[in-house]
Structure 1
Amino acid sequence: MDNNQLRTICEQLIRSERAYLIAPAGYGKTQAISQAVALSDGGKQLVLTHTHAGVQSLRNRLRQLKVPTNNYEVDTIAGWALKLVICYPTTASLSIQIPPKSSEWKHVYNATCHILQQPFMRNVIHASYVGVFVDEYQDCTITQHTLVLELAKILPCRVLGDPLQGIFGFADEPLVDWENDVSNEFAKLPSPTIPMRWINRNERLGKWLAKARDCLCENRAIDLESDEIRWIQYNEDPRDFDDKGRQACYSKVKTPGTVIAIFPT
């Protein structure tokens, strides 16, 4: 993503009351959040994500940009919700063990929504934050989405993600549906078009991934015969593919951690 495009996206994010941004992997969502926070005029932005690794990544980006630590708070949705329930146990009216069992998290989020609906809490939230960002929104469950909507009633709220990258899911808790849940509540911002992660490493791969993603979104077949695809002929017995196929993939790896291989088992 060039500097002009990135700055435009960040300015749109920080100015928006309710907005969502979709971008493929490696197209600068985390960087956009960090730079949007850096553009904030003052006050603390609440930045939420799903994993501790995601929290660390956001904090590292914000430190690299030298954003003052009193201008942001980064946490997981689960961690932030649990802290609110612990701080207001009477209002939460929830009896659970700490840490909660997997089956109890839905009740934590519902209790958090109840707390956020209280008139006194609007004053608390306004005194604590000036805006909200939520990263990796495709991994939100419906109860987490409802929690974010309660926050969006109080503060400017921007959510970022990619519905094709959803990695979490629970049997009794469906993931948020972008078409029916997100787009009806938030205004869509233009997606970035430059593969930021790949630009100095493998720009062709980044652009090919974006084209492949477009095909999936439009229910079209992915073109595996283009010049970007390099075939490796494999002549072993298919019954031995699990072991020998894996070894064939390993033999093509020159630098650890640079290749992903997908094959049937």
Structure 2
Amino acid sequence: MILIAGPCVIESEELVFEVAKRLVKFNEDSRIDFYFKSSFDKANRTSISSFRGPGLEKGCEILARVKKEFGFKILTDIHESYQAKPVSEVADVLQIPAFLCRQTDLLVAAAKTNSVVNIKKGQFLAADNMKYSVKKVLETRGIEGEGYEVARQNGIWLTERGSTFGYGNLVVDMRNLVLMREFAPVVFDVTHSVQMPGVAGGKSGGDARFVPYLARAAASVGVDGFFYETHINPCEAMCDGPNMLNLDELDRVVEQTLKIQEILRG
């Protein structure tokens, strides 16, 4: 099972290392393919005054130290084409934000690196439209063919994070998990799926109570991995606090999804 976890944004090196220490056990679990996630820049915040992170250079330095210290594989977002190459020198997975999943130049730049490309499904897109984003990466890499196994072998993932209808909430259609697995391995971004965009006075809200329920539902449908943004104290987080999972709860949620997957495998 792919497990992606870490704080939403690099608030400080101290916080990142504190969270990383608590995640070592997942990296040591033979059932889990673990990736540490944190963003060096949140370029799509609701308000121009919202905290965005330390930036490309400083952020990659911190992520590189996490990688060296803990032996983690690293996943982080890129927002512009020029970021792909330098970030790929640190990150094992380049994540394409949902709002940018159709951005051809960004996908092409990511595809030209040796990193896995994780494309988050746009909140505004139908699941079957994601096959075109996958094809952009495959064709850039000179790969013929398509489908789940072709994408898996060539380092392409898709991530579901809910759909928006413009009313300050997100809805997860579990059919999307099945549909997108026709094109590539699928990760379910549980914590962003309980986000409430723009409802908290210039920033996003959320309701993390529903994280365990959605995670169990996705595990029963069948996915390749799970994405949890997690924090020592979500109430004090500088980004996405209301939808982040407290580190103390992560163990239980991960174990439940592993057990469901074991049952499905018989």
**Both proteins in one fold, TM over 0.5:** no
Structure showing the higher helix proportion among its residues: 1
Higher relative contact order, structure no. (Cα contacts within 8 Å, ≥ 6 residues apart): 1
TM-score w.r.t. the length of structure 2 is 0.34
Pick the structure with more strand per residue: 2
Q: TM-score scaled to structure 1, two decimals?
A: 0.34
